[in-house]
Amino acid sequence: MNKLPSRPKPFAPIREDSRLKNPGRAAPEIRVFPDEDSLADFALSVWEEASRARPFAVALSGGQTPVPLFRLLASRPGLPWSATRVFFADERFVPPGHPQSNLRLARETFLSRLPIPGQNLCAPRGEGAIAEAARGYESALRRLMAEWGREEALFDLVLLGVGEDGHTASLFPGSPLLEESVRWVGAETRPSVTPPRITLTLPAINRSRVVLFLVSGEKKAGILRRVAADRDPSLPAALVRPRAGRLIFAADRAAASRLG
């Protein structure tokens, strides 16, 4: 195995692409839907649009909110699965078959029912030393993105959720990972987060053509207002701001009830 880069070289500053309809940081788009099913239908339409890219590089989140979308995807064998490369915005540092594994959730809800080659899945290892697993995931990401000639926009779509504390992926409030400006992957090993996790960092997430937050339920109404409307910088989810892509907050009515 090639020697892992001791420290990834800082990638070139992003040229603001004037062809994009929102050069620079796109203002957040907020879309509200009557219920979880219509929210999932919208998310599917965003996925279908983004999947025209070749390859189609998508990063998934865990949690329960994306499950209705995952179940819709399971019934779409006609999507370009052979050209779809699945990554993970974060993963719990557990073996692949563990009940808390995001890879297991994705496999069980849709990936195992679709014609997607196994080598199209790229997830962090969940065993061994977490720092080494994070570096290995970053190395695989950098290799693939270089192979595809991607610098400004790495992912075509990143699916994210919002925790009640304002975390997203596995970027939690107060985490030193929020200061990371070079690495694309980090390990969250603080005792307050169990199990430990491996996560994309903001430099990686913010290099996406589309970031789609899916938020549902009354319990998320307060935090969604602080993240999507107030853009409270103390909250990791509010720090997600694609430099040259779309930022979409899609919520059901219950979660959007405090957006005014």
Residues that bind ligand 6PG (CB under 6 A): 61-65, 89-90, 102, 161-163, 167-169
At 68, list the tokens: 């209705």
Residues 6 or more apart whose CB falls under 8 angstroms from that of 179 comprise none
Residue number, 100 or 120, with CB nearest to ligand 6PG: 100
- For the bound state, the minimum distance from the C-beta of residue 139 to ligand 6PG, rounded and expressed in Å, comes to 22
Q: Tell me, what amino acid is at 15? A: R
| DSSP E strand boundaries for 120-240 | 157-160, 185-188, 197-200, 210-215
- For the bound state, the minimum distance from the C-beta of residue 65 to ligand 6PG, rounded and expressed in Å, comes to 3
Residue number, 86 or 89, with CB nearest to ligand 6PG: 89
Peptide linkage before 173 cis (omega within 30 of 0): no
- For the bound state, the minimum distance from the C-beta of residue 162 to ligand 6PG, rounded and expressed in Å, comes to 6
How many other CB atoms are found less than 10 A from the CB of residue 208?
28
Residue number, 90 or 244, with CB nearest to ligand 6PG: 90
- For the bound state, the minimum distance from the C-beta of residue 16 to ligand 6PG, rounded and expressed in Å, comes to 29
Residue number, 167 or 207, with CB nearest to ligand 6PG: 167
Q: What angle do CA 201, 210, 242 make, to 5 degrees?
A: 50
